[in-house]
Structure 1
């Protein structure tokens, strides 16, 4: 299975499918806005348009799987090392970190996953947090989040 920055093609495809609610193989502005809202981000129409323009490389008004993968995996350059995709990871981390304290708690994780339609309990979220919580504080900091997102 092909890997790019620690993410398999299957992982990226699963995330793409979460955004592509109607299953037509592309992400529209409305679908992007719905996901941002589900994640607790009040994103204006202007911001959605700017995000679409950044990701939609062919200018057709939709994000296709290839464009999504290029964006999600940090573009086409291979020389990025640890910095490749860091901004995208920080943005994702910030969506989970609802109280903006620099940590993702089990309840924050549960809230976001529920908003995305995932069926998981708070107990499941505590287990997920515990599996990556290196310092044992019961939360995930950004460094732990980066390691979690780059796991094979």
Structure 2
């Protein structure tokens, strides 16, 4: 999901384990009925700062809802997070779109404040200082931000750890 254009599976595809996928699913499933509706999907995307049209949300639902019941269940969501919903997307494009979700001011780097904003919108309870610590763990050039290259390395390390 890109922050400024059409979201897709990329923002979530780096969820690495079942607990993370289930936790994210539960955030999307705001009424707790075990499935994500179009309204719930749209609401979360808007909370993340994405300006997405109803048509784009409908396209996402078609892409993810493999059993075509009008809702996204946990299994479909997990496949979506693994990138199975759209096997033709390039990995570089997906990582770039994920990066853009966090890079709220589109300056090419993720600050602790930006990370805090997104994590807070997703229901995480962390401080800006906590986010600064997360940033520092991947900030190879010591500038206090995560650049796109650093973000790619972070995603690669995360994917390797899960494999």
Q: TM-score range by the shorter chain?
A: 0.7 to 0.9
1:26 aligned residue (26, 35, 39): 35
- Deviation (angstroms), 1:147: 3.5
> Where does residue 71 of structure 1 map in the other structure?
80
Give per-residue Cα distances to partners, 1:23-79, cap 9 Å, x unaligned.
222111111111111111111111111111111111111111111111111218xxx
Cα distance between partner residues in 2 of 1:6 and 1:94: 16
* Runs of 4+ off more than 6 Å: none
SS of equivalent residue, structure 1 residue 7: coil
Cα distance between partner residues in 2 of 1:86 and 1:72: 16
Cα distance between partner residues in 2 of 1:148 and 1:109: 14
1:140 aligned residue (132, 140, 146): 146
Kindly indicate whether the alpha-carbon contact (under 8 Å) linking 1:6 and 1:149 is maintained by their aligned counterparts in 2.
Answer: no
Q: Give the 5 Å matches for 1:50-129.
A: 50-75=59-84, 85-129=91-135
> Where does residue 20 of structure 2 map in the other structure?
11
SS of equivalent residue, structure 1 residue 114: helix
Give per-residue Cα distances to partners, 1:94-146, cap 9 Å, x unaligned.
11111112211111111112222222111111111111212222111233223
Indicate yes or no: 2:51 matched with 1:42: yes
Going from structure 1 to structure 2, the CA distance change for 1:7 and 1:123 (only over 3 Å counts) comes to same
Kindly indicate whether the alpha-carbon contact (under 8 Å) linking 1:52 and 1:61 is maintained by their aligned counterparts in 2.
Answer: yes
What stretches of structure 1 of length at least 5 have no aligned partner?
A: none
RMSD of equivalent CA atoms: 2.7
**Corresponding pairs, count:** 146
Cα distance between partner residues in 2 of 1:31 and 1:75: 21
Going from structure 1 to structure 2, the CA distance change for 1:90 and 1:26 (only over 3 Å counts) comes to farther
Cα distance between partner residues in 1 of 2:95 and 2:117: 19
What stretches of structure 2 of length at least 5 have no aligned partner?
A: 1-12
